[in-house]
Structure 1
Amino acid sequence: MKQLNLSVVISSFLLGLSIVISSLIISNSGDRELNKDKINEKEYKPLMTIQETAEYLKITESQVKTIISSEDTMLRTSGLSGKLFPVIRIGTDNYISTEDLKDWLKDSTALRKQY
């Protein structure tokens, strides 16, 4: 009988140990996901400057300015189909909406716009 009790104790200990270890592994992986979201929140900006937009699109600042001025001209003269470049003017500064830029990019690509 003593050997049966010893094997039950050892089995119970190993089972408890495996539960504790698996709990630690699961909690650490959850923490990594939360930290990743926090990092993305810090990096996310609802508005970008012309320079940041150029870096995001991997083009030059002058190309971004050309897009803005071209769309302004087309809008005033002949009307423009599709989404407009998401520029917001605050005083003399231009800012670009991060979320709307993604939509504009998809729409401009689909319409094969040229600037």
Structure 2
Amino acid sequence: MKSIPVSILLASVILGISFIIGCFFLSNQESVNEPTQVAQEEAAKDKALMTIQETAEYLSMTEEQVMSIIHAEQRSFAASGSFNGAMFPFIKVQEEFFISRNELLLWAQDASVYHRRYVNGQLQ
């Protein structure tokens, strides 16, 4: 049986180790460049204002339902000149709505206390 020269064996080991280390660095580089879902969710929690889409996801609603609540409360306020409790906490910049994350929690509590009902775009 013929023996493998030590230089070839050593070169093979070095090549294998280099390949493993290179793969390790590449896999770490990809994870550094691409934020994970957890990191994105943490960044979203720090935002003071949310878009309609983010608000809908946060409330487990559709965007249409969120907009329906906003419009229903606005119509109710315009019709009576007053509103009982906290109104949906939004600001409008040009044509885009933004919702305060902190105030949204207070609104949800208030809406629950008053057992508000929103049916077909109307506050009942």
Alignment-mate amino acid for residue 62 of structure 2: T
Q: How does 1:66-85 map to 2 (within 5 A)?
A: 66-78=68-80, 79-85=82-88
Distance across 2 between alignment mates of 1:91 and 1:75: 21
Distance across 1 between alignment mates of 2:96 and 2:42: 24
Distance across 1 between alignment mates of 2:62 and 2:96: 17
Aligned to 2:94: 91
Alignment-mate amino acid for residue 113 of structure 1: R
Aligned to 1:112: 115
Worse-matched range after superposition: 43-52 or 98-107: 43-52
Q: How many residues align?
A: 77
Identity %: 40
Distance across 2 between alignment mates of 1:48 and 1:110: 24
Among 43, 49, 52, the alignment partner of 1:50 is 52
Aligned to 1:28: none
Aligned to 1:20: none
Report how far residue 41 of structure 1 moved: 6.1
Alignment-mate amino acid for residue 104 of structure 1: W
Gaps of 5+ in 1: 1-38
Aligned to 2:8: none
Stretches of 4+ aligned residues off by more than 3 angstroms = none
Higher helix share: 1
Report how far residue 80 of structure 1 moved: 1.3
Q: Secondary structure at the match of 1:83?
A: coil
Q: With structure 1 as the length reference, what TM-score do the two structures score?
A: 0.63
Alignment-mate amino acid for residue 84 of structure 2: S
Q: Secondary structure at the match of 1:51?
A: helix
Q: With structure 2 as the length reference, what TM-score do the two structures score?
A: 0.59
